[in-house]
Amino acid sequence: MDYDSSDSQGGKATTDSGTSREPSIVDSILDGERTSVFENKQLVDSNTIVDHNRIYGRDEQLAAEARAFRDTLEGERPPDLLLYGPSGTGKTLTVKSVAEKVKERAERNEIRFDFVAVNFKTMESHTLDRAVWKLGHQTAKKAGVAWDIPQKGVSTDAKYVRLYDIVDRHFDALVFLLDEIDTLTGRAGEDEPAYSRLLYSLSRVMAEQHVDTLVSTVVITNHPKFRENLDSRTDSSYNPTGIHFSDYDANELIEILSRRRDAFREGALDDGVLELVAAYGAKNEGDARRAIDLLRDAGEIANRNGETVVTEQHVHAANDSVVKNRVLEIVGGMSLQKKLSLYAAAVVADINDGNAPSPAVYSVYRAICRSTDRDVYTQETVNSHLNKAGTYGVLNSTRTSGGFKTGVHLMFTFTEPVDAVIETLVEDDAFADISVSDVRSIARRSLLDS
């Protein structure tokens, strides 16, 4: 059998028989000359922990974190911290940046300090047992030792014992960074959320003499009211110092992006690109993480097109792609009935300034189901489907009064672009027989009647 091979100069591919042919598309890409708009792409990776000097608009928070961690350098236990505020406002970035700086100082002072970061939202299971296993696994990795505890078949207490043994043997001071902790809800029916029990154990680890190591926690959450669900004994034992992070505005986002401009080659960013990316970021509730990712995606599109300058057109294309992918990820796993409910609400919102009153939504939903010979569920069920869609971040719902005709009802307001939601839904084969123009006509009549 003949196998393809290529010469070292990236010329035509040859076979064992000596014949030649044009190189494959893979060979062309791998062997071809590579041009890129990037100089250091890591700087526009939102997961990269940059030096604190690159962080803008968070001097107050950086100072509070530095003061807390300084206790470690003086042989004292740092206070527990609670970092709270919206997504993408620098909570994780600032604390990791400060912790890295403290680690450098600690090494010079021969103090075995480190931090272990776990994002609980990324775990498949949000139980206490899985959380303790994950903490142990990450801690063992930091210590450079084996985590020889299986996920199943070993009690949670045994996992705690192994975790504490590693902590006590390998660290003088250790900080657990507990990100998205409010997602650690535990099993259904449990009286106390799993994060409450975890915080109780970690806050008591020194007092109960499990370790001599100076152990503290940094809790990172978008929802500061998660403390309301803490068990009374946890609330008594866990007393963190709170540090608030507010949204970034467009001007702050411009400065944040400017401090990462050297991710790109000289002259590779066109005028107005950073400002446009910042404007999109400000629309997304001042989320710096999304803005940084959008800037990187725009650069990737320029690279794929073989262009050497990132333009506003690349930013628009990147944003359209991000929005569509985000919506597709959200609605892709929904059942057909949920998709029909969401579609009805999106069409109503699209012709009603972004607002979709539940009576009009239900009229449209019912008409769609009848025209396509599908089961019609109750309005209560449709409202429930849409409220569940709200938990994915697609829309919000508020209770309002429409007067004598409709009385008190729900008003749905989309947080994702309505046109992107509609475009994503109609790509499903189940919507092939549904006429968008007919549905829009039904929606207009329903709004007049409601």
**348 & 399 share domain:** yes
Model confidence pLDDT, tens digit, residues 360-381: 999 999 999 999 999 999 999 9
pLDDT of residue 399: 87
pLDDT of residue 11: 52
C-alpha to C-alpha distance for 30 and 41, rounded to whole angstroms? 19
**203 & 284 share domain:** no
pLDDT of residue 390: 76
Identify the domain boundary among 272, 303, 329.
329
Residues 348 and 373 sit within 8 Å (Cβ to Cβ): no
Range of the domain at 12: 1-33
**379 & 234 share domain:** no
Indicate yes or no: pTM above 0.85.
no
The secondary structure of 291-306 as a DSSP string is HHHHHHHHHHHHHHTT
Model confidence pLDDT, tens digit, residues 153-184: 999 999 999 999 999 999 999 999 999 998 89
pLDDT at 450 over 90: no
Q: Which two tokens stand for residue 27?
A: 């060979």
Tell me whether residue 44 is in a domain.
no
CA neighbours within 13 Å on the CB side: how many for 25? 0
Tell me whether residue 374 is in a domain.
yes
Tell me whether residue 40 is in a domain.
no
pLDDT of residue 388: 82
Q: Which of 395, 423, 392 is nearest to 329 (CA)?
A: 392
Q: Region 198-206: what's the mean pLDDT?
A: 94
Q: Domain containing 74 — which CATH number?
A: 3.40.50.300
**215 & 289 share domain:** no
Identify the domain boundary among 193, 215, 244.
244
pLDDT of residue 10: 47
pLDDT of residue 19: 58
Beta strands in 9-165 (DSSP E): 13-14, 20-21, 81-84, 113-119
Run of H or E including 205: none
Q: Region 331-351: what's the mean pLDDT?
A: 92
**Percent over 90 (pLDDT), the chain:** 66
Q: Domain containing 377 — which CATH number?
A: 1.10.10.10
C-alpha to C-alpha distance for 232 and 239, rounded to whole angstroms? 12
**124 & 185 share domain:** yes
**304 & 383 share domain:** no
Q: Region 9-16: what's the mean pLDDT?
A: 51
What are the C-alpha distances in Å from 204 to residues 80, 95, 178, 218, 235? 12, 23, 16, 15, 12
**344 & 307 share domain:** no
What is the tally of structural domains in the chain?
A: 4
pLDDT at 145 over 70: yes
**229 & 285 share domain:** no
Tell me whether residue 47 is in a domain.
no
pLDDT of residue 20: 62
Q: Which two tokens stand for residue 328?
A: 């597709």
pLDDT of residue 154: 95
Q: Region 10-17: what's the mean pLDDT?
A: 52
Q: Region 65-92: what's the mean pLDDT?
A: 94
The rounded mean pLDDT for the chain is 89
Tell me whether residue 49 is in a domain.
no
- In the 8-state DSSP scheme, what is residue 8? T
Greatest CA span in the chain, whole angstroms? 86
Identify the domain boundary among 228, 244, 260.
244
Give, in degrees to the nearest 5, the angle at Cα 394 between 392 and 400: 110
Q: Which of 422, 415, 423 is nearest to 443 (CA)?
A: 422
Name the band, by pLDDT with cuts 50, 70 and 90, for residue 221. Answer: very high
**306 & 282 share domain:** yes
β-sheet bridge partners, residue 395: 414
Model confidence pLDDT, tens digit, residues 129-141: 999 999 999 999 9
pLDDT of residue 227: 84
pLDDT of residue 320: 87
pLDDT of residue 24: 75
pLDDT of residue 405: 53
Tell me whether residue 419 is in a domain.
yes
**95 & 178 share domain:** yes
**71 & 15 share domain:** no
Phi, psi of 153 (to 5 degrees): 90, 0
Q: Domain containing 321 — which CATH number?
A: 1.10.8.60
**254 & 227 share domain:** no
Tell me whether residue 216 is in a domain.
yes
pLDDT of residue 226: 79
pLDDT of residue 9: 46
Tell me whether residue 193 is in a domain.
yes
pLDDT of residue 6: 45
Model confidence pLDDT, tens digit, residues 235-288: 888 999 999 999 999 999 999 999 999 999 999 999 999 999 999 988 877 889
Query: Higher-confidence residue: 388 or 107?
Result: 107
